[in-house]
Chains A and B, each alone.
Chain A
Amino acid sequence: MRKLILPVLLIAIFALMPLIAELVGKNALMTLSARILMYAMAAASLNLILGYGGMVSFGHAAYFGVGAYVVGILYSHWMSEVPIFGLFPGSNQLLVTLPIAMIVSGLAALLIGALSLRTGGVQFIMITLAFAQMIFFLFVSLTAYGGEDGIIIRRANAVPGLNMRDKTTVYYVILVVAVLYFAWLWRVVNSSFGQVLKGIRQNERRMEAMGIATFRYKLYAFVLAGMGAGLAGALMANFLRFTSPDMMHWTKSGELIIMVILGGLGTFFGPILGAAAFLILEFYLADWTEHWQLGLGIILLLVVLFTKGGILGAVDRLKGGRQ
């Protein structure tokens, strides 16, 4: 039962956020809260391969951006009523665009993962970064979809029975998707596959000796992670009503890694806390000084050099639990 306290608390906070924002008259709080939810999903998907699987991917923002672009491209074709490649019609239905975003980013992850996972160590870090940069420049070159400027989405995708013009409604849709996503992720990390993945992080050679073809499992995790990031990106495109190559710039990949580390690598709730810490820090520091990244850099440096296990690790130590 105690296990349920944290998730229930988190859901309650996020569910009450629009009310709180209205109460204190600060609409920006709801925006901040929504951004935390979406970045938490992206960071959690990265945590699946980085924290549970031990794969240091430095290009995760690419899948986030691909998911966002799927929404943007489908929307622009729906608007212009010109089928994509003359074959597929566009769409503005969230229940259509989200699954397609997941499938497309999953396919991108399948291709990139199948090639990248042949290497390891620093080469893996660099090749994932390289592929992400290639996707970044690919979208910059797509002048039909705005090139560097990206795509403006006039209206958030529609959901039958909901008024998606209302920002609060969009917020709750994001919350529901996020809760579903984290519930699914909970199943994954506690599944048979999750156990194999944790084993691979600790000792790949041993897993091979147990008869596990580690490459396939790593690739599977890589694809699942790409799909998760794509889902988060698709929501982001709906929320911002905008998508651009900046969403997949390599520094965004760096930020996702920072969120995972800040919260606690390989812990379930870490990415949520990490995303919250990062974005709240940005929100208030940026309010106070334009040089907020200096503060972020210093904090990050101190966290990496002097702490182990991020926020959750610190909480554990405070409780006098395991070291």
Chain B
Amino acid sequence: MTEILRIEGLQKRFGGLVATDNVTLDVHTGEIHALIGPNGAGKSTLINQLCGELRQDAGVIHLAGRDISHMPAHERVDLGLGRTFQVTSLLEDFTVRENVGLAVQARDGGNFRVFDRVTARRSVWEETDHLLAGSLLNDRRDSRAADLSHGEKKQLELILALATQPRLLLLDEPMAGLGHVETQQMIETLSGLRGELSMLLVEHDMEAVFALADRISVLVYGQIIMTGTADEVRSDPRVREAYLGTEDA
């Protein structure tokens, strides 16, 4: 068992537009697999199909050997599929600690209890504080999520995803909109997680991709045109033409 994620023949159309065209892809257990491609290549559509927000027209998705193609989003989370959002999606009125606490509680269960006191769930809050202690947000724990900087929100996105204890983490452009320093911090945070879980990383920042990825797949017009190591991708003429070429020119 070396594949945490296997996608076969995934297909999605919006009217006449083919957003995902027969995509076949696998992510090895423990690897960081990057998915790159020009704007409009269908990366976000693919992520949304993997996590269950969008239903594919055809094809199958296996998570750790189980067919999850027709599962609702929340069940995929239970099976160990975590995600971050490209546009940060937080509980804006809650503090950082409440955000993380709820994510931990959601995984821990007992969410239908109406007679307990949420502040008294010791194991939940211990785990929350543990997660925060190892993060860049430790001294921001009592700030409202709405008051965080963009970079901090991106970090919180990541912590929320980790709180669900995913085996595979879908990262939808975690560096988007970050400054140089913040990008370095995010790269460090993600490298620190290497080996603990597998990641499928959608990212435009090539520096980050080359620094992190074990393998890279290139998505153009809804199709995977190649999968390989950083060097293979860099030297592939098709990729240069479709993607890098336009940037170099």
Cβ-based interface call for A80 (8 A):
no
What per-residue 1/0 map shows which CB atoms of B122-154 lie under 8 Å from chain A?
000000000000000000000000000000000
Of the candidates B75, B93, B116, B161, which one forms a contact with A192 in the assembled complex, judged by CB atoms under 8 Å apart?
A: B116
Q: Could you tell me if A203 and B90 are in contact, using CB atoms closer than 8 angstroms?
A: yes
In the complex, are the beta carbons of B90 and A206 less than 8 A apart?
yes
Of B102, B105, B160, chain A has the most CB atoms within 10 Å of the CB of: B102
Contacts of A191 in B (CB 8 A): 113-118
CB neighbours (8 Å) of B77 from chain A are 208-211
Is the beta-carbon distance between B114 and A188 smaller than 8 angstroms? yes
Interface residues in B81-127 (C-beta closer than 8 Å to A): 82-83, 85, 89-94, 98, 101-103, 105-107, 110-119, 121
User: Max chain B CB contacts within 10 Å: which of A190, A203, A205, A209?
Assistant: A209
CA distance A214 to B112 in the complex (A): 11
Write out the residue numbers on chain B whose beta carbons fall within 8 Å of the beta carbon of A217. 111-112
Interchain CB contact (< 8 A) of A203 among B83, B91, B101, B110: B91
Q: Which of B53, B119, B121, B160 contacts A210 (CB 8 A)?
A: B160
Please, how many angstroms separate the alpha-carbon atoms of A205 and B92 in the complex? 13
A322 CB to nearest chain B CB (Å)? 10
Q: Residues of B contacting A214 with CB < 8 Å?
A: 74
Find B118's partner among A195, A203, A207, A212 (CB 8 Å cutoff): A195
CB <8 Å contact, A195 and B105: yes
Does B72 belong to the interface (CB within 8 Å)?
Answer: yes
* Partner of B107 from A187, A210, A224 at Cβ < 8 Å: A210
What mask results when residues 8 to 49 of chain A are scored 1 for a CB within 8 Å of chain B, else 0? 000000000000000000000000000000000000000000
Given A210-B103, A211-B164, A220-B112, A190 contacting B119 (CB threshold 8 A): yes
Q: Is the C-beta of A193 less than 8 angstroms from some C-beta in chain B? A: yes
For B117, list chain A residues within 8 Å (CB): 187, 190-191
Say yes or no for A272: interface residue by CB 8 A criterion.
Answer: no
> Does chain B have a CB within 8 A of A202?
yes
Q: Is the CB of A212 within 8 A of B91?
A: no
Q: Are B114 and A194 in contact (CB under 8 A)?
A: yes
Check: A117 CB closer than 8 A to any chain B CB: no
Bound-complex Cα distance A268 to B82 (A): 34
With known contacts A193-B114, A208-B73, A203–B164 Cβ distance under 8 A: no
Complex CA gap A94/B206 in Å reads 71
Asked if B51 lies at the interface with its beta carbon under 8 angstroms from chain A, I say yes
Q: Are B113 and A206 in contact (CB under 8 A)?
A: no
A306 to B119, CA, bound (A): 35
Known: A192-B118, A213-B72. A205 touches B89 (CB 8 A): yes
CB-contact partner of B111 in A192, A202, A205, under 8 A: A192
A147 close to chain B: CB less than 8 A: no
CB-CB contacts of A176-208 with B at 8 A, as 1s and 0s? 000000000001101111111011001101111
Among A187, A202, A208, point to the contact of B115 (Cβ < 8 A): A187
Task: Name the residue on B nearest A201 (C-beta).
Answer: B93
- How far does the Cβ of A226 sit from chain B's closest Cβ, in whole Å? 15
A196-B89 CB under 8 A given contacts A211-B164, A212-B106: no
Provide a sorted-by-A list of 24 A–B residue pairs whose CB atoms are within 8 angstroms. Answer: A188-B114, A190-B117, A191-B114, A192-B111, A192-B114, A192-B116, A192-B121, A196-B106, A196-B111, A199-B102, A203-B89, A203-B91, A206-B90, A208-B53, A208-B77, A209-B73, A209-B85, A209-B160, A209-B164, A210-B160, A210-B164, A211-B107, A213-B74, A224-B114
| Beyond A190-B118, A202-B92, A211-B74, 8 extra complex contacts between A and B, CB < 8 Å | A193-B112, A202-B93, A202-B94, A205-B85, A206-B90, A209-B83, A210-B102, A211-B164
**Chain A residues near B (Cβ < 8 Å):** 187-188, 190-196, 198-199, 202-203, 205-214, 217, 220, 224
